[in-house]
Amino acid sequence: MATSSRWSLKQRLVVSFLVAIITGLNSPVNGCFTSIFCFGDSLTDTGNLLEISFSESGKLPHSAFPPNGRTFFHRPTGRYCDGRLVIDFVAEALGFEFLPPFYGSKNEKFEKGVNFAVSGATALNFTFLAERGIHKRSTNVSLEVELNNFNIYCNLFAHLLQLLRTSLIVVGEIGGNDYNYAFWQGKDTEKIRELVPLVVHDIASAINELIELGAATLLVPGNFPIGCSPSLLTQFQGSDKDNYDSLTGCLTWLNQFAQHHNDLLQKAIQILRTHHPNVGIIYVDYYNTAMRFYRSPEQFGFKETVKACCGVGGPYNYNPSRSCGYPPLKRCCNDPSSYISWDGEISLS
Ligand SMILES: *[C@@H]1O[C@H](CO)[C@@H](O)[C@H](O)[C@H]1NC(C)=O
Ligand SMILES: *[C@@H]1O[C@H](CO)[C@@H](O)[C@H](O)[C@H]1NC(C)=O
């Protein structure tokens, strides 16, 4: 689907990254989290879009089809990935089960937490983007909708709010799709850049709202180096060598765009920290973690950096109309663990 980016981050890569995150956490009272709640897009979606699409239109997203899921779950689960997402590794590392999707299981209590992230979700709402001529492709869900779902859920199960203090809350990655949709529609880059402070403002508002409800520990991932994603490399393919980083083959200006988002996000987090000195807000640096893979792929066991494993066509193995999981195309490389990108889309998984 046309969502954010997803790369098949391999376990061995993720481990060092997670250790860094988890040791940075402000542990709650007894040193253990009681539950995990998360918000975001396809990088974090463990089955929500699949459930929404199935119940609303009967039309299934690409994540419902093989070879998605082939490496770990051995069946499609609604994850845009062959294996586990970063959130799955976080849950495992903290001794939790994989987080269930919120949609499709509304009557459960989810004492251990639940996942509100929806593939294709944006930070800005549907109306706001539509007014700027940016049309969403797969879902109308925005961060605001995910928070509304959280509130609905809290109203159903009042005990949940008491859990918040001792929960790990993951907000993001979110916002990448706001830009992706605009880039795919060929919007002017300067116009897209104007969205960045608005996107960051919405993320910061969501964090603030969660803190006011009682959240005490939040992980906030930034954006990936989108200039390395097979989908955007395909879309902006050109002969001007100056646009590309000669070491990685990534598009420099797109990576700068992602860094701009991350800079503003970190500044917003810094302000939130001064307003809420007793709350742990941890920025998760997806960008530089991923750049290590692109700069020294062999060190992490990667052979292909900017080509998608699951996909077909062009120099990046990516064609938006024949993308991964879209029946009947089941073509996939033999060894997904040697490719940084699973399906070529922008985010990672
Ligand atoms: C969408 O977001 C804008 C800007 O944040 C806000 O003014 C508006 O009320 C929101 N619209 C809906 C329908 O939620
Ligand atoms: C999104 O909302 C618009 C306007 O309400 C509607 O026309 C469209 O069908 C919705 N799309 C999805 C995928 O739900």
**Cα 79 to averaged position of ligand 1 atoms, centre (Å):** 29
User: Could you read off the pLDDT of 22-66 as tens digits, one per residue?
Assistant: 555 554 444 589 999 999 999 999 999 999 998 888 889 999 999
pLDDT attached to residue 201: 98
CB 199 within 8 A of CB 125: no
> 331 falls in which pLDDT band (50, 70, 90)?
confident
pLDDT attached to residue 155: 87
pLDDT attached to residue 15: 47
**Cα 49 to averaged position of ligand 1 atoms, centre (Å):** 22
265 Rama class: left (phi>0) / alpha (psi -120 to 50) / beta: alpha
Q: Which of 140, 141, 142, 181 to mutate to test the pocket of ligand 2 (most atoms within 8 A of CB)?
A: 140
3-state helix, strand, coil in the chain (%, to 5): 40, 10, 45
Q: How much is the mean pLDDT over the chain?
A: 89
pLDDT attached to residue 328: 61
pLDDT attached to residue 322: 87
> 14 falls in which pLDDT band (50, 70, 90)?
low
Residue 176 has pLDDT above 80, yes or no: yes
pLDDT attached to residue 292: 97
For residue 241, count CB atoms less than 10 angstroms from its CB and return exposed for 0-12, middle for 13-18, buried for 19 or more: exposed
Q: Is 291 helix (H, G, I), strand (E, B) or coil?
A: helix
**Percent of the chain surpassing pLDDT 70:** 88
* Higher-scoring residue by pLDDT: 44, 157: 44
**What values do phi and psi take at 108, rounded to 5?**
-90, 155
197 alpha carbon, closest ligand? 1
Q: Which helix (H) or strand (E) holds 170?
A: strand 167-171
142 alpha carbon, closest ligand? 1
pLDDT attached to residue 136: 77
User: Could you read off the pLDDT of 251-266 as tens digits, one per residue?
Assistant: 999 999 999 999 999 9
Q: Report which protein residue has its CA nearest ligand 2's atom 6.
A: 140
Closest C-alpha among 62, 65, 72 to residue 92: 72
- For residue 125 and ligand 2, the question of a CB distance below 6 A is answered with no
Q: How far apart are CA 93 and CA 248, in angstroms?
A: 31
Q: How far apart are CA 110 and CA 108, in angstroms?
A: 6
Paired sense of beta strands 304-308 and 339-341, if any:
parallel
Other Cβ atoms less than 10 A from the Cβ of 277: the count is 6
Q: Which atom of ligand 2 is nearest to the CA of 138?
A: 13
53 alpha carbon, closest ligand? 2
pLDDT attached to residue 43: 95
Instruction: Name the CA radius of gyration of the chain, rounded.
Output: 19
Q: What is the mean pLDDT of residues 314-331?
A: 83
User: Could you read off the pLDDT of 199-249 as tens digits, one per residue?
Assistant: 999 999 999 999 999 999 999 999 999 999 999 999 999 999 999 999 999
**Cα 34 to averaged position of ligand 2 atoms, centre (Å):** 36
Q: Report which protein residue has its CA nearest ligand 1's atom 7.
A: 128
Residue 346 has pLDDT above 80, yes or no: no
> 17 falls in which pLDDT band (50, 70, 90)?
low
pLDDT attached to residue 20: 56
Complete domains list, the chain, with CATH = 9-231+240-294 (3.40.50)
Residue 7 has pLDDT above 50, yes or no: no
Query: pTM for the complete prediction?
Result: 0.92
Residues 6+ apart with CB under 8 A from 182: 134, 191, 192, 195
- For residue 139 and ligand 2, the question of a CB distance below 6 A is answered with yes
